[in-house]
Chain A
């Protein structure tokens, strides 16, 4: 009567509304559903939270204002002068990742940030956007970012490829960090839940561990959204100011 533990089943993508235009699988999946829920919730929070703007904010207005101020503060201190122009982008990104992480912690839901294709798409948007901003702002001078100042010409042969490489690695580290954190945390939760199910009498122990991990995951969910947003700010700063 061994219960089969399938900790990875929670990451399975299941189509809800099958759609196959031109032979491409564009089905509306559980992942897409959660993304829609996240976007609807963020829109509701910011629109409804500020609809009846009072001098003494109510609960929802407080949440909306706190998240606004948190991100605004982060952009201002990290993206440097002129970074506030990109505040809407960073705010949307932060809220989307945060809601994705938090909604994934609701039992029976799905964590779309635990799929590398989702996080990589987000990171690629950041990477390409930041590169475009850099070229638009500085033109060809943007390439100076890859040439460290005050280095002999011979060493540049070695240093420029290294700088280029570490620039192109950015979207990979950015996406893998978020995806790996979410994947590892949720797998761990499922494994301990499986232990609880397979040991009838002493199941209370794994359940206790699961509760502890759950709180840790709440922290990780917020922290990873923060890290994603703050690194976006740092990249923007590079593109805006070239060191």
Chain B
């Protein structure tokens, strides 16, 4: 008799703990799925960046080539050369953007490099 009386509140407590754990697991799962959905949301922003990177590189380089030609009187060679250089620079920038290496001349991935530096210190 006394055993049953002592066990009942404990069993009740066990049920409550289990319930709380289930609830916590559910919120954690929801959070994890939210976090995995985040890259999808910024996919459009990335697409914007990639397109812009390529086009601006080509336009700026070609414009510079045109300016050089006007200055040095070498038309049309500066513009042709700079156009191809612009295409190359644009592709390099796109590749660096997509592979998460920061933008343009940067090499290491930003956060990874920062973490490495902290390790070295």
Contact = CB atoms under 8 A, between A and B. Distances in A.
25 contacts: A77-B110, A78-B110, A80-B110, A80-B113, A80-B114, A80-B117, A145-B105, A158-B88, A162-B92, A165-B61, A165-B64, A165-B86, A166-B92, A167-B104, A168-B60, A169-B60, A172-B60, A173-B93, A173-B104, A181-B48, A237-B113, A238-B102, A238-B106, A243-B108, A243-B113
B20 interface: no
Interface string A159-203: 001110111111011001100110000000000000000000000
B24 interface: no
Q: Which of B88, B89, B121 has the most chain A CB atoms inside 10 A of its CB?
A: B89
Contacts of A177: 48-49, 52
A234 B106 contact: yes
Contacts of A162: 85, 88-89, 92
Q: How large is the interface on B (under 10, 10 to 19, 20 to 34, 35 or more residues)?
A: 20 to 34
Interface residues of A, number: 33
A211 B80 CA distance: 47
Interface string B31-59: 00000000000000100110011001100
Contact of B93 (A76, A145, A166, A235): A166
A198 to B, nearest CB: 29
B103 to A, nearest CB: 6
